[in-house]
A and B are shown apart, each in its own frame.
Chain A
Amino acid sequence: MKSAIILFPGINRERDMARALRLAGSEEPVIVWHKETSLPQVDLIVLPGGFSYGDYLRCGAIAARSPIMREVVAKAEAGTPVLGVCNGFQILIEAGLLPGALMRNRELKFICRDVHLKVESNDTRFTRQYATGDVIRVPVAHGEGNYFADDETRRRLDGDGRIVFRYCEADGSFSTEANRNGSVDNVAGILNERGNVLGMMPHPEDHVEPHQGSTDGVGIFRSIVSAAA
């Protein structure tokens, strides 16, 4: 599998992402600088985490308007799978590839800790290695992951099965405590209509080796690799 990682100034989890892709069997990802205007032919485009442009103005806002994003949008519309994690999710939203908004965490503080996610659907190219209903443990590390969407958007997302991950307790139950950033409907990750663009706040790429405390995140990367095969 060939993949490209888009590098915006201030992005800082590109190494974590590249390692996770390698471990899942991808070729070494190509790093594409934000000032580029074209992308190589790849099976996956990744927007990794970090603080593009310092998260100034709004998280992801400035990066979403950089030259490479026109190409990312075009490829996404043509069906290339796109994964945006954390800041990458924020950029996808700002670029209009995913609906809604990501606001300051409920308690206004940055949160770095492990969370549990419920895999709401394994009928996606990003989650086929899981079973629907699986609970996985992966870390979050963000200050603005509080997902918001208006009622209609939420209903549509839910109805179309496009809410892929929800924050939950270890036993899979939903609670306010498990939803520390305050997201509506405990949303942690969503798909676009066509099913080829996934945005999520948690960092599966940091739970891919036993030494990191869990390998629960590796399923996402293996799913992508197997879907591309």
Chain B
Amino acid sequence: MSIPNDIKITPELVAEHGLKPDEYERILELIGREPTITELGIFSAMWNEHCSYKSSRVWLKTLPTEGPQVIQGPGENAGIVDIGDGQCAVFKMESHNHPSFIEPHQGAGTGVGGILRDVFTMGARPIAALNALRFGDPDHPKTRHLVSGVVAGIGGYGNSFGVPTVGGEVNFHPRYNGNILVNAMAVGIAETDKVFYAAASGVGNPIVYLGSKTGRDGIHGASMASQEFGEDSEEKRPTVQVGDPFAEKLLLEACLELMESDAVIAIQDMGAAGLTCSAVEMGAKGDLGVELDLDMVPCREAAMTAYEMMLSESQERMLMVLRPGYEDHARAIFEKWDLDFAIVGRTTDDLRFRVKHGGDVMADLPIKELGDEAPCYDRPWTETPLPAELGASDVPAPNSLAEALVKMMASPHLCSRRWIWEQYDHLILGNTMQRPGGDAAVVRVDDGPKALAMSVDVTPRYCEAHPETGGKQAVAEVWRNITAVGARPLAITDCLNFGNPERPEIMGQLVGAIKGMGEACRALDFPVVSGNVSLYNETSGKAILPTPAIGGVGLLDDIDRMATIAFKGEDEAILLVGETRGHLGRSIFLQVMHDREDGAPPTVDLAAERRNGQFVRALIRDRSATAVHDLSDGGLAVAVAEMALAGGIGATLDEAPDGVSSHAFFFGEDQARYVVTCSRGSTARILETAGKAGVPMSAIGWTGGDALNLAGEDPIYLDELRRRHEAWLPDYMAGWIED
């Protein structure tokens, strides 16, 4: 597929590059002539949704991105927050949705590879990875294959690379049947005075290419990520990228080794739209031109054209601007690690992006305009109306609360995810202080006592009902999860997965979610430092549930003051923090027991979140709380059941208080709540402190025994509950649960 550079640019060709006619007009205006095909390719890469954020930019700007803890907000490969002692946490989340649907193993694996690269590009050593996954209906014929491929792909890459995959979340819903979501997050640690950025500086400095060779992988991958799927997308079978975690591990070590010297002026990984995006970004951010000589680019296939090299998405590659004189030093390090090293260009002072191949100039474009002049749309949007509240009396109570609880705990929505995270090495590096299965993962920094807590969350069914509430809730839930282990929430990254923004109702979902997120971030001092947007997640006009996944990071000063969800002993008091009204709209109870998804989502009271969270964190810090769990999907009964299973200790819960019906009390999903246990002796004191702090709190039962006793119900034996809770996923994956 050799593409000559002088090919005539037709409207069809423009359309195939995902550019609208008016966007093409703008290109003509900008450069004052018809572009070459290589130039068209470069524009299509820079101006597609994935790289330019043309539909979301105006709204992303409204998010709060600052705070005393923020060292680097959005705009770089990853966000950076201060964690004290001259160290910082570097993190970001990114989507790899479309590629994972087409080839789940490689798609998910390269997604992990991409986000790890974003983190170590900045000079940070990755210490943890997380992933947020959404699959279609378990009954859909493709779901099992996708789950198995995605999980194997994430594990295969992270395990080999050597980062612990410590957390994540999984949802199943028919609205993801044709568009699964694979969002990967990585967190790294760097020394604050040794972080690296993308902006080039200095004229005439060498630009070097590092890592693996360039092949014809994923050409048009970035454009693919911005196109709606049609029925025929499976036939198109675009070239997918194959990941090489081994090469990435070598790249990590080589980069960090080189960064110990003063050799690196600027660095940018080659992700979406590879060489094009990375080179343009380094130049444009540094107010410099860039000249590349493609004859120097290490290729693994013969006769690659300029067009192909500029758009290739081969993985495990980096671009650097080196300080002159350090070329040999850098080359020696990369050769030691058996990686390719080539000087492929230099910085210039003319603000042009010039690409030469075989002595000819294949592209010569104004570098700033490639980024700055990218289209930006304020797309029309319509607000999603808030659905009517669903009272508890509109939702039939189950015959048995105990049976309902077991059924919910054994459902695809709440069953144990062990089958997944046991395929991830979640212990490597020896710093995993909280393994998957709790509220937030906790990973110690070096030898401690400091640790990072992290969590990814969003409740798409709430976002579908009312995007603004859903956006708020997602941020609040991450904050709560981090709080529940005793950590101080620092900042978030996000991955905004939506349908086609050209439809006003979808655009309205995006706008609503961002508004809600922004409000929560402000109220909780939890700024956004990085993120990613994935639009056009639709098949044949049917969009996914709006899914603004939030990844948060918090700081735990001392791992000896950390809470876990497991009950610690017999005969401890169980306390409920927060107000329980019994909100059943959009609850898991409604979904599992009644196959319904209606009503309004629970209200998010950010002042209550903040107040209750601060109170719980204080209880953990002064060691009053022996176990802590935040309340989310499935409500109180599910939270207590999870605490009982984790500790291998049963519990007995009192009846619902007056004014709240039993099923609403046990299964309602009101926000800003936690379950806490403490010794009997300290209960009165704790309740009194809560009262003074204005935090609603009540004693609701005690721990002990080998069963869970919900007031007036038959006991649920933990062994049986555990068996049911653990069974669904492995049984489903083994094919024992029929489609």
The interface of chain A, by Cβ under 8 A from chain B, is 9-10, 12-13, 15-16, 19-20, 50-51, 53-56, 109-113, 139, 141, 143, 203, 205-206, 208-209, 211-213
Contacts and interface: CB of A to CB of B under 8 A. Distances in A.
Given A50-B162, A53-B246, A56-B246, A111 B422 contact: yes
Contacts of A111: 422-423
Contact of A203 (B156, B161, B427): B427
Contacts of A19: 430, 447
Interface string B425-450: 11111101101000000001001100
B159 A110 contact: yes
A141 B430 contact: no
A141 B427 contact: yes
Interface string B155-189: 11001111000000000000000000000000000
Interface of B: 152, 155-156, 159-162, 244-247, 249-250, 337-338, 421-430, 432-433, 435, 444, 447-448, 559
Contacts of B245: 51, 54
Contacts of A139: 427
A211 B426 CA distance: 14
Given A12-B162, A54-B244, A211 B448 contact: yes
A54 B249 CA distance: 9
Contact of B250 (A9, A16, A55, A143): A9
13 contacts: A9-B246, A12-B160, A13-B428, A15-B430, A16-B428, A51-B249, A54-B244, A110-B159, A112-B425, A206-B430, A212-B430, A212-B432, A212-B433
A206 B338 CA distance: 29
Contacts of A143: 159
A13 B421 CA distance: 19
Given A113-B422, A141-B427, A211 B162 contact: no
Contacts of B426: 112
A141 B444 contact: no
B433 A211 contact: yes
Given A12-B161, A19-B430, A109-B152, 10 more contacts: A9-B250, A9-B338, A16-B428, A19-B447, A20-B430, A110-B152, A110-B423, A208-B430, A211-B448, A212-B432
**Chain A interface helix/strand/loop/mixed:** mixed
Contacts of B429: 15-16
Contacts of A112: 159, 421-427
A203 B422 CA distance: 15
Nearest to B156: A110
Q: Which of A9, A112, A141, A212 has the most CB of B within 10 A?
A: A112
Contact of B428 (A55, A109, A141, A211): A141
A130 B49 CA distance: 61
B729 to A, nearest CB: 13
A212 B429 CA distance: 11
Contacts of A113: 422
Contacts of B338: 9
Contacts of A50: 162
B444 A211 contact: yes
A53 B425 CA distance: 18
A32 to B, nearest CB: 14
A141 B246 contact: no
Contacts of A10: 160, 246, 249-250
Given A110-B423, A112-B427, A212-B430, A13 B162 contact: yes
A55 B244 CA distance: 11
A47 B290 CA distance: 45
A12 B428 contact: yes
A104 B712 CA distance: 50
Contacts of B246: 9-10, 51, 53-56
A205 B428 CA distance: 10
A13 B429 CA distance: 7
A16 B426 CA distance: 13
B367 to A, nearest CB: 37
A205 B159 CA distance: 17
A51 B160 contact: yes
B274 to A, nearest CB: 22
Closest 9 CB pairs of A and B: A12-B162, A54-B246, A51-B160, A16-B430, A141-B425, A112-B425, A110-B423, A206-B430, A10-B246
Contacts of B432: 212
B341 to A, nearest CB: 16
A9 B156 CA distance: 17
Contacts of B160: 10, 12, 51, 54-55
Contacts of A211: 433, 444, 448, 559
A13 B428 CA distance: 7
Contact of A110 (B337, B425, B433, B435): B425
B249 to A, nearest CB: 6
A35 to B, nearest CB: 8
B608 to A, nearest CB: 33
A139 B429 CA distance: 13
A13 B161 CA distance: 11
A113 B437 CA distance: 13
Contacts of B152: 109-110
